[in-house]
Amino acid sequence: MQYNSAMNFEHLIQINDPENPLIEPLDRQQLWQGLLHRVENPIPFLPGLEAFTILERQADTLLRELDFGPAVIQDRVTLVDMHSVRFDIVPSEAHAGGGLSIAIEEPEPGFLFLRFTYETTLANNPNSEDQAYIEYVKSAYHQSDVDCVRIIRTLAAGGPLQ
């Protein structure tokens, strides 16, 4: 889905760094399992999420209802096995919609990255007084994605989630 005059934001997070022995490497399977966990149990990944329900399940898509207390939204999740997960918020009176794609990239063996691509309904006008807000939103997305990778690492290590 494309959103007209929307703010699109994309960034990479490096998962493995073969030159840094302090970073525990993950393989594609561990990364994929972590992304699936985000689909099946989004609560640890989405601050403020109080409850969720999977409304529909098909081979490679799910329709979920996410309860944030004051706001309830639906999103459609599309899976491309071992490659990517896409979340599309179903537009409603409460939310204009938007999308997030998380793709596993491996430019060479052992070098894994996650590419996060956001499509929002926020106007992206560089001359707007809203620019500071847009930068804040981008920063929040980036921090959320860093936290996502931290949670995936915790899961891969067999540790408990908070």
Q: What are phi and psi of 83, to 5 degrees?
A: -125, -55
pTM for the whole structure: 0.88
Question: Nearest 10 degrees: CA dihedral of 37, 86, 54, 51?
Answer: 70
Mean pLDDT by 10 residues, the chain (162 residues): 63 88 89 96 94 96 95 96 96 86 92 93 65 83 93 85 50
Is residue 15 within 8 Å of 114, Cβ to Cβ? yes
- In order of their start, the domains of the chain are 8-128+135-156 (3.30.530.20)
What is the Cα–Cα distance from 29 to 106, expressed in whole angstroms?
12
Residue 128 pLDDT: 59
Residue 63 pLDDT: 97
Residue 51 pLDDT: 96
